[in-house]
Amino acid sequence: MKTIISLAAAVFSLSSLSVAAHDMVPAPAQTQDILIKNATVHSPSKGVLTNTDVLIQQGKITAVGPTLNAADATVIDATNKQVYPGVIALDTSLGLVEVEMMRPSNDVYEVGQSNPQIIAVSAYNPDSEIIPTVRVNGITHAQVVPQGDLLAGQSSLVSLDSWTIEDALVPATQGFHLYWPSIRRLSQDKDKRKEQLDEYQQQLKQIEQMFADGQRYHLANRDKQVSKIDLRWQALQPLYQRQAQLFVHANKQLQIEEAVALAKQYDFKLVIVGGYDSWRLADLLNEVNASVVYTRTFSLPMRHDEPLEMSFKIPSLLAEAEIPFALGFSSDWNSRNLPYAAGQAAAYGLTQQQALKSITLDAAKILGVTDMGDIASGYRGNVIIAEGDLLDPMTSRIEQLFIDGRQIDLNNRHQQLYQKYLKR
């Protein structure tokens, strides 16, 4: 009986792994120049450029302007088409989760409250069935982020078309992720409320202790006085050297204020993720040059006395407060809706250019990447050709997608199933 059970478990495991591999072959490196002609180009830095050509050579955009020519180039007539830069999805678990309810296919969470040495992308699956369903909406790159309690680990930026993890990785500023504790709702019961507050204070003390230990290790390491290597604090060294960023996942004002106090104490580079109340703290955040990855565009308001559209308006409030920000989508498969979140923000106060910039150029800047997120000379050839507005799910109709000048297969599991059941 044990043998039968073991065999059944093995078969189940193998079958679940087979489900996690898509059929799309990664595109080869660009070998022939690509010239996109007569397009309406949407540049986050320069605005809308009509009747414009884009030349991509060896994976880079080398020229943008009217009447460009290139010998032996593959010419794409984009008359009446829209050209956009590839979208960068921040705060995702893409490639870490295949089926959320199946624990063997969910690698987003690690046990423990102090895991700065954990690198989430080590569990990344470039063959995930979810990835093609996300990039068909124009998402070319994603920040793969660990989840957990308190200090969860490190994120990485990946291309969404690759054979291996090594192929997928894109150089970016190292990021550590800290999930700030919160009390979802204070109990009306006096004893329960005291228990909640005590637990919250205990977690704050744990954060204080972790970073104090990390700093002592950093100072000892700087002076070559470390007697025993601790992988946790060794991994955290770039943060104290200001060569990395601390992404603090926090939404409420008190959480953000406490996170800023921590950043001030250790002179950390700070990024707030979530950031629902961040617009209220413009002076404080700008004082420490903090950025915000706002992830709640499609969420309900956090408070009962706020207007229903509050979550939609916050990006425009961040822009008004001059806080550097980008839009993110804290999900795996659902991150495909990021362009539409930007469209929603544009309907509630952002300009179209600001909304596009928030998921392209501004997202790249937050990650410390200087050659992504725009249609301009010297930038990577991450390009979308669409029939309509990228930020509108009803009209976008993406026709072609390029990553580093490589044309990507837009086929995916959803389209395969759609075609299958059309024949029923």
How high is the mean pLDDT in each 10-residue block of the chain (424 residues)?
A: 40 43 87 97 97 97 95 95 98 91 82 94 94 96 96 97 96 97 88 92 96 96 91 96 97 97 97 98 97 96 94 98 96 94 97 98 98 97 97 95 96 89 90
The per-residue pLDDT for 110 is 87
> What's the pLDDT tens digit per position in 350-380?
999 999 999 999 999 999 999 999 999 999 9
Report pLDDT for 103. Answer: 74
Q: What is the DSSP letter of 350?
A: -
Q: Is residue 212 included in any domain, yes or no?
A: yes
What is the DSSP-derived secondary structure letter of residue 333? G
How far is the CA of 387 from the CAs of 257, 294, 382, 396, in angstroms?
A: 44, 28, 17, 6
Rounded CA separation 132/114 (Å): 33
Place of tokens 């296919």: 105
Q: Which pLDDT score, from 0 to 100, does residue 20 have?
A: 54
Residue 42 lies in a domain: no
pLDDT digits (tens, 9 = 90+) for 112-163: 999 999 999 999 999 999 999 999 999 999 999 999 999 999 999 999 999 9
| Assigned domain for 409 exists | no
Is 328 within the bounds of a domain? yes
Number of residues that this document lists for the chain: 424
* pLDDT for 24: 85
30 located within any domain: no
Do the domain assignments include residue 58?
Answer: no
Verdict on whether the full-model pTM lies above 0.85: yes
Residue 31 domain-assigned (yes or no): no
Q: What is the CATH number of the domain that holds 282?
A: 3.20.20.140
Q: Give phi and psi for 229, each to the nearest 5.
A: -70, 130
Pairing type for strands 398-403 and 74-77 reads unpaired
Looking at residue 376, what is its pLDDT? 97
Residues 6+ apart with CB under 8 A from 128: 20, 22, 94, 95, 98
Cβ-based neighbours of 3, under 8 Å, separated by 6 or more: none
Question: What is the total count of domains within the chain?
Answer: 1
Is 157 contained in some domain? yes
C-alpha 359/C-alpha 377 separation (Å) is 19
Q: Determine the structural domain holding residue 243 and report its residue range.
A: 120-362
